[in-house]
Amino acid sequence: MIQYQKFKLDNGLTVIHHFDDATQLCALNILYKVGSRNEDPHKTGFAHLFEHLMFGGSENVKEFDTELQAAGGESNAFTSNDITNYYVTLPANNIETGFWLDSDRMLSLDFNQKSLDVQKNVVIEEFKERYLNQPYGDIWLKILPLAYKIHPYNWSTIGKEISHIENADLDQVKAFFNNYYSPDNAILVVAGNISFEETMRLCKKWFEPIPNRNAIINVYKQEPVQKEARKEHVYNDVPLDLIVMAYHMGGRQDSDYYNCDLLSDILGAGKSARFFNKLVKEKRLFSELDTYITGDADPGLFLIEGKLMKGVSFETAEAAILEELEFIKNNPVNLNEFTKVQNKTETNVLFGDMSVLNRAMKLAFAEFLGDITLVDNEIDHYLSVTPESLMKVAKSMFQEQNCSTLYYHAKI
170-180 helix and 113-127 helix, angle to the nearest 10 degrees = 90
Closer Cβ to another protein, 23 or 178, answer by number = 23
Residue 277 makes contact with another protein by CB under 8 A: yes
Is there binding between residue 71 and another protein (CB under 8 A)?
yes
Is residue 239 a contact point for another protein (CB under 8 A)? yes
209 or 370: whose CB is closer to another protein? 209
Closest to another protein by CB, 212 vs 272, is 272
Which one of 39-47, 91-99, 213-221, 386-394 is the stretch in contact with another protein (CB under 8 A)? 91-99
> Residue 122 interacts with another protein (CB under 8 A)?
yes
Q: Which is nearer to another protein, 303 or 357 (CB)?
A: 357
Residues 51-70 contacting another protein, CB under 8 A = 59-61, 65-67, 69-70
User: Is residue 271 within the footprint of another protein (CB under 8 A)?
Assistant: yes
The backbone torsions φ and ψ at residue 271, rounded to the nearest 5 degrees and listed phi first, read: -80, -10
Indicate the SS3 state at residue 311. Answer: coil
Q: Is 25 in the site for another protein (CB under 8 A)?
A: yes
Q: Count each helix (H run) and each strand (E run) in the chain, helices first.
A: 15, 11
Note whether 82 binds another protein by CB under 8 A: no
User: Considering only residues 156-195, where is the footprint of another protein by CB under 8 A?
Assistant: none
Q: Could you tell me if 44 and 160 are in contact, meaning their C-beta atoms sit under 8 angstroms apart?
A: yes
d(CA 345, CA 340): 9
Closest contact distance (angstroms) between CB of 186 and another protein is 18
- List the 403-410 sheet strands across, edge first: 230-236, 403-410, 242-248, 301-308, 286-293
Q: Which residues of 299-323 are buried (b: 16+ CB within 10 A; e: fewer)?
A: bbbbbbbbbbbeebebeebbebbee
Taking the C-alpha atoms of residue 372 and residue 1, their distance in angstroms, rounded to an integer, is: 13
Verify binding: residue 231, another protein, rule CB under 8 A: no
- Does 305 help bind another protein (rule: CB under 8 A)? no
CB atoms inside a 10 Å sphere around CB 282: 10
Strand stretches in 184-308, DSSP E? 186-192, 230-236, 242-248, 286-293, 301-308
- State which of positions 328-387 bind another protein (CB under 8 A): 336, 339-340, 343-347, 350-351, 353-356
| By the rule CB under 8 A, 211 interacts with another protein | no
**Minimum CB–partner distance for residue 308 and another protein (Å):** 9
